Amino acid sequence: MTEQETEAIRRDVRKLMIDHGLERNRVNLLQDALRERTGKPVSRANIGYALTGHRKTKAYHAMLVELKQILEAWPPDRAA
């Protein structure tokens, strides 16, 4: 995990959010999807830190990878 890889994933996630109309006040949908996928509580602030590049640790990189996978399969299947 290099800083350039993390930055590229962050940009991809932001683009996918815009493509799906999730860029404004819709982070709660991603928060719920991330919580369901990982089984761990996730705060909106931590998602924001990852999306802005404010935090660049392995944990935030992993969160961005998960968010990218969620967004690539958007919308989530809520029927299950």
Q: Residue 21: give the domain boundaries.
A: 3-72
pLDDT at 27: 84
Q: Is 26 within the bounds of a domain?
A: yes
Residue 77's alpha-carbon distances to 21, 28, 37, 60, in angstroms, are: 17, 16, 12, 25
Dist CA 44 CA 72 (whole Å): 20
Decide if 51 is inside a domain: yes
In a domain, 79, yes or no: no
Per-residue pLDDT reduced to its tens digit, 13-45: 999 999 888 887 788 888 999 999 999 999 999
pLDDT of residue 76: 66
pLDDT tens-digit series, residues 58-74: 999 999 999 999 999 98
Indicate the number of domains in the chain: 1
pTM of the model: 0.85
Asked whether residue 77 is domain-assigned, the answer is no
80 lies in some domain: no
DSSP 8-state assignment for residue 26 = -
Half-sphere exposure (Cβ direction) of 61: Cα atoms closer than 13 Å: 11
